[in-house]
Structure formats: structure tokens, C-alpha cells
Structure 1
């Protein structure tokens, strides 16, 4: 992907620097899809975490009650009944550990999805600026659009993987396999975000290089928030 972005930048440089009238360019069609999917994932995760947190509280309270009963028993009172209570306590402990583990998974998935949301925000911010920058020709803006579309499409594929993980909690999937998918999706979204920010930075610098006067260069810096 980074190779593609570098190629895109070279093409932009070769096109030339004629000014382009400022005009509005519609947002990429895929953007609304990415936004909707990302929002859906975060909402689903929040709901599941809330349910698991409620279950955690219930299990902790139940475990505490059994623990209190066992602590009051004397050694000579150990019987079949107390053994059942010990087994019950053990069951609560194991279930609690399992629930906490799942919550950890969900938190990791949510962090990944937030990175996806951040990618969308960064794209929107930069895209709204680039399409108003008269240092770029219309053909260059169209080229940027194709690059952005590619990055967003790749990020959607990673969100599909996250949906697969969410479904895995109701199917037979090992923790190792689930963790492998989570980490892979996280790494890919990180890569998508890095590609996007690098492409944005390169285009900002390109606009700055095309400034013909110091005053124009200062306007470009202010426009993009370049220090």
C-alpha cells in the first residue's frame, strides 16, 4: 500500500501545478458505508460489554455469598453438602474468569474499531481541505479520490473480520484463533491509518511546495495547520 501511495505522489508531481478553481466535490460514496458499519460495531460491542459487566456483578455477588458460607463452616462439618458448595464456588470462579476474558476481548475489538473511526475522521478532515486547495488540478483531486477509496475499502474488509470475531463468541472457535483474527484486524487497520496519514502529509507538503510566494506558503500552513 505504501508503494502505491508513493506512486500516487509521483504521479501528482508529474501532472504539474496549474491552479484549479475551488469547487465542491462530493464525499466518497463508500464513506457512509464505513461510517454506518463502524457505528454498528461500536454499538454492538457496547451492548455486549454492558451485559457482561452486569453478569460479572451477579457472579461476584453469588461467589461472595458462597465464600461467606464456607468460611463459617468448621472442619468437622465438611460433608457432601459443603463439597457441593465448594463445587458451586469453583463454578462461579471459572465462569467469572471466562466472562472477564471475553470483556477483555471486546475492549480490544472496541479499541480497533475506534481506530477505524479515527481513520474516517482523518480522511474527512483532509479530503475537505484538499478539494478546496487551488494548488491541485481537478485530475489530481480525482486521483486522490481513488487512493482514498482504496484505503477505505481495505478498512471495510478489516471491519468484516471484526464482525466475524463477534459471531465467534456464539460458535466453536478457540481463544488462540480468535486472538489471531483480532490482532490481524488490528494490525491491518493500523496500516490503513498509517497509509492515510502519510498520504495526507505528502499532499500537504506538495501544496506547500507549489506556493509561489512566502505569503502563499504561510496561507497553506495556516490552511492545513502546518507548524
Structure 2
């Protein structure tokens, strides 16, 4: 057998492994970019929520100082003036309600990132997964995280809707839709991680190191 052919056959597996690792690193870098984008968007939504929480305090203090029953004694001009004022307060109150719901959704988004980071750390320490398999996991995570990023973008659309025209019904439709999809993303991630743990436990049983793997994942 020619020496060049021997070298090729010997080096081929190494090249394949190197390629798999390189691909995994590219995917990992993509996931990091998605997480960074998520962090920036979530921070923006949290800042908006804090602003509205402060606005709520001002609103409630103002309303506590006013007695709506006194409006009946005012002139028509006063009624019109303060009527517009209270209409604006009601609109702000509705916005605060939206943002409280948005805050809950962004918390679920942070749960998704935390679950990803936890699982990634554990799987990377599990000797029952190859570099290629870890790369496939990153690809699956990338898809889930990217989907949740699009959900955050939808919430930002609701944020911006208070600067442009959008009906309350449309806002609620978007928020409810995002909440459902975000929860689905989270449950998909949990199920995927659970399935990978099951794979590891099965392999550990065959390798007779089941107790080591159970301790790794905190399984009693």
C-alpha cells in the first residue's frame, strides 16, 4: 500500500473530528450572539417596566388626592378638562398592566437562558457525549433560543405600539401569543434536556458508572 494512502487513512478520522469540533465552535459562537441579543432586549424591556412602575406610583398618588364625586359639581369646562386628564390616566394604567404581563414573559425568557446554560455546563462534563453530539445539542439550543429572540422582538413591537397607533385588542393578541410561544420554547428546552439525560443514563448503565452520572445531574 503506498505510504501516501496510509497517511490519508490514518489522518482521515482526525480530520473528521477536527471538522466536527470546528462546526460546533461556529454554532456555539452563534448561540452566544443570540444570548447577547436576548440580554439587550430583555434589559430594554425591564427598563421600560421600571419606568412604568414609577409612573404607576405617581398615578396612584394623584388619584388618591382627587375625589371623583366632586366632578359632579364642576362646570362643563372643568369636566371636559379633567375628563381628558382622567382618560389619559386610564390609558397609562392600561399600559402599566401590559408591562406587568410583559415582565412575566421576560422572566420566562431568562429562565430559558438559565436552563440552557445549566444543561450546557452539565453535558460538557459528561463523558458519555462526543464532541459531535455536543455540537448537535448546540444546534438544537440555537434553534430554541432564536425562536425566543423572535418572541422578544414581538414584545418590543408592543412597547413601540404606545408611540404609534395600535388597538388594545391587538396588543393583547400579541402579548398572549408571545406568552404561549415563550412557554412552549421553555417546555421544549426542558424536554430536550431530559431526553439527553436519559441517553446518558442509558450509556452509563452499560458502562457501569451509573452512580457517577446520577450525581452529575443531581438525580437521587
Range of TM-score over shorter length: 0.7 to 0.9
1:151-170 alignment runs, 5 A limit: 151-170=144-163
1:62–1:87 distance in 2 versus 1, CA, 3 Å: farther
Question: Match for residue 213 of structure 2?
Answer: 220
Residue 32 (str. 1) matches residue 32 (str. 2): yes
Taking the aligned partners of 1:62 and 1:82, their CA distance within structure 2 comes to: 21
1:69–1:58 distance in 2 versus 1, CA, 3 Å: farther
**Deviation of the 1:54 alpha carbon:** 3.8
One of 110, 125, 131 as aligned partner of 1:117: 110
1:1-227 alignment runs, 5 A limit: 28-67=28-67, 70=70, 78=73, 82-212=75-205, 216-227=209-220
Deviations 1:77-123 (A, max 9, x none): x5xx5333334443343322221211111111121111111101100
Deviations 1:138-195 (A, max 9, x none): 2222221211111112111111211211111111011111111111111111111111
**Deviation of the 1:63 alpha carbon:** 4.3
Unaligned runs of 5+ in 2: 1-20
CA RMSD of superposed structures (Å) = 2.8
TM-score normalised by L of structure 2: 0.76
Taking the aligned partners of 2:173 and 2:68, their CA distance within structure 1 comes to: 40
1:91–1:60 distance in 2 versus 1, CA, 3 Å: farther
Unaligned runs of 5+ in 1: 1-22
TM-score normalised by L of structure 1: 0.74
Contact conserved, 2:56 with 2:93, CA < 8 A, in 1? yes
Taking the aligned partners of 1:50 and 1:140, their CA distance within structure 2 comes to: 42
